[in-house]
Structure 1
Amino acid sequence: MRHIYRFCSALVVAVVLVAASAWAGSGVGFAQTGSVARAPSNCLAIAESLPRARFVSLKQVQGEPVSGSVRISYVSHSTFWIESPGGVTIATDYAGWTGRRGIPRVVTMNKAHETHFTDSPDPAIEHVLRGWNPEGGRSNHNLEVGDVLIRNVTTDIRGWQAPEKDANSIFIFEISGLCIGHLGHLHHELGAGHLGWIGRLDVVMVPVDGSWTLPIDKMAGVIKQLRSRVILPMHAFGDYSLSQFVANLSNDFAIRREQARSITLSTDNLPAKPTVIVLEPQF
């Protein structure tokens, strides 16, 4: 049966590449160059007909169980500290500070404001992934670090004087069967091409300031499109915008306010109903 599993996996990846070619003119950024991941994506969507997509889990095709838990800690602002079962540590929207957690193995950054990046990351950081390309064009990341696959989908930002294309990245981390997405400094709603390249997100980290990024109602609409099981609010400039965001989703989503900064997730303990989990914020 193993040769059948390998054939099915290869077929799935081939269809994804065909979909990539079909979307090449759409302006949607996806990591197709740079460091190539050595394992297939478990989270990508295969386009059957835009704007609809069928979400595919390769672990089901291969019949191999996925074990292990991912610990996610809210540091502050848009920075989360992610720890994989294999010990890979990641800091999102890294601006040079992770509290007392030390030096992560991977950092992701976005350029909308200086609170989301640093020009002088610690040289001990193994992988510094910028969500924009300083030389222009798209930032493309697609790599495997230990037991983590990391890729990005670019979006545009308003910019200080004019809009900047592909200047923000939604980073996606695939760990132990979980698909975890960080929306970065999202400035616009997502089109069918974005949703196709993002694929399935079990967990999504979403900015809820309501002004510097998307208005609260539009950001809530993005979350409803993504259909994630766990929603982790971030980038709230006080409890007012956070409460507005929660209120916008309260009819369709469960709401949990944790008295902690961390949560441990696995494919076995995801909530049955989509749930907004508010980790203890630091304003």
Structure 2
Amino acid sequence: MLVPFLFLGLTALLPVHPAAGEGERPVSQCQMIARSLPAATFASLSGPAILPAQARADEEVRITFIGHSTFFIETPGGVTIATDYNGWYKTPALPTVVTMNKAHSSHYTMHPEPGIAHVLHGWDEASATGADHDLVVDDVYIRNVPTDIRSWGGAMEPNGNSIFIFEVAGLCIGHLGHLHHELTDTQYAEIGRLDILMVPVDGGLTMGADSMSRVVQRLRSSLILPMHRTGPPVERFLAMFGADFEVVRNDGATLSVSLRSLPKQPTIHILAGM
């Protein structure tokens, strides 16, 4: 199966298409394969398509840790995104897009502020396969990969959580949400490449530190941003990684990053407030 791996290498250089035809999904620059063969949507290999991705290698995305599992993402095109938006943690501006997960009320709200253009739930109780988002907003493509979630009674609820993925400025940014289990090979393939990973490090409310560290190591992201729980759980999470991972503690809550400025060594970057 050479084709999927060839597709991964080529699409790492290609921009997200600004629009897709009727009934078509946008082409992901991050996925190993686009959904499943033989229904994969392959990127164009023409020379001009490569140039925009190269031209924007220095374009920066701003990421601010707001609190708990809410980050505020600002794209070069001016789109603003709040992850696991609950209405409690106030963002610097009204987001264009909010994503939510339903594990606890700290991860969603059924009453988002008026004026938010796109409210994306990470669950869909009417669908057996879970939420399915493929949204292009100006310079960002947003999609999701459903995962299971523990109910209050302890049983696993299929597709109750979503890993949201934001593709912008050549970067692949993933937010694990309230991940309750290690991922399957199929889910890893659907996720594809993640340059920046937002990961819960609570030590057990989602998954134990050892299980979560295996997910992080498998995804092989350049930049890992802890979230969801401060204090001792963070230290237990850090203890799972060896010298291959650098640890950086930031005095500020905001980080600006571009495709060109990604660290060469995998780096766990702890933003202020975490």
- What is the CA–CA distance in structure 1 between the aligned matches of 2:49 and 2:218, rounded to whole Å? 28
Q: Is the 8 A contact 2:66 2:90 kept in 1?
A: yes
Question: How far apart are residue 66 of structure 1 and its match?
Answer: 4.1
TM-score, length basis structure 1 = 0.80
Change (3 A) 1:174 1:66: farther
Aligned residue for 2:73, secondary structure, equals strand
Aligned residue for 2:239, secondary structure, equals helix
Deviates more, 1:135-144 or 1:209-218: 135-144
Match of 1:22 in 2: none
Determine if the alignment matches structure 1 residue 81 to structure 2 residue 72: yes
Q: Which has the higher helix share?
A: 1
Aligned positions, number:
244
Question: How far apart are residue 87 of structure 1 and its match?
Answer: 0.3
Aligned residue for 2:213, secondary structure, equals helix
Determine if the alignment matches structure 1 residue 222 to structure 2 residue 210: no
Match of 1:127 in 2: 118
Q: Which amino acid aligns with 1:229?
A: S
- What is the CA–CA distance in structure 2 between the aligned matches of 1:60 and 1:195, rounded to whole Å? 29
TM-score, length basis structure 2 = 0.83
**Identity of counterpart residues, as a percentage?**
48
Match of 2:136 in 1: 144
Of 100, 104, 114, the residue aligned with 1:113 is 104
- What is the CA–CA distance in structure 2 between the aligned matches of 1:79 and 1:60, rounded to whole Å? 38
- What is the CA–CA distance in structure 2 between the aligned matches of 1:119 and 1:169, rounded to whole Å? 17
Q: Is the 8 A contact 1:254 1:274 kept in 2?
A: yes
Question: How far apart are residue 100 of structure 1 and its match?
Answer: 5.0
Change (3 A) 1:165 1:269: same
Match of 1:25 in 2: none
Q: Which amino acid aligns with 2:258?
A: S
Match of 1:234 in 2: 227
Q: Is the 8 A contact 2:7 2:32 kept in 1?
A: no
Determine if the alignment matches structure 1 residue 193 to structure 2 residue 180: no
Question: How far apart are residue 158 of structure 1 and its match?
Answer: 1.1
- What is the CA–CA distance in structure 2 between the aligned matches of 1:251 and 1:151, rounded to whole Å? 33
Q: Which amino acid aligns with 1:276?
A: I
Deviates more, 1:107-116 or 1:130-139: 130-139
Of 259, 269, 272, the residue aligned with 1:277 is 269
Question: How far apart are residue 160 of structure 1 and its match?
Answer: 1.0
Q: Which runs of 5+ in 1 are unaligned?
A: 1-7, 17-33, 48-55
Q: Is the 8 A contact 2:72 2:91 kept in 1?
A: no
Of 161, 164, 167, the residue aligned with 1:168 is 161
CA RMSD of aligned residues (A): 2.6
- What is the CA–CA distance in structure 2 between the aligned matches of 1:232 and 1:136, rounded to whole Å? 31
Aligned residue for 2:205, secondary structure, equals coil
Question: How far apart are residue 226 of structure 1 and its match?
Answer: 0.1
- What is the CA–CA distance in structure 1 between the aligned matches of 2:46 and 2:273, rounded to whole Å? 34
Q: Is the 8 A contact 1:93 1:184 kept in 2?
A: yes
Determine if the alignment matches structure 1 residue 256 to structure 2 residue 248: yes
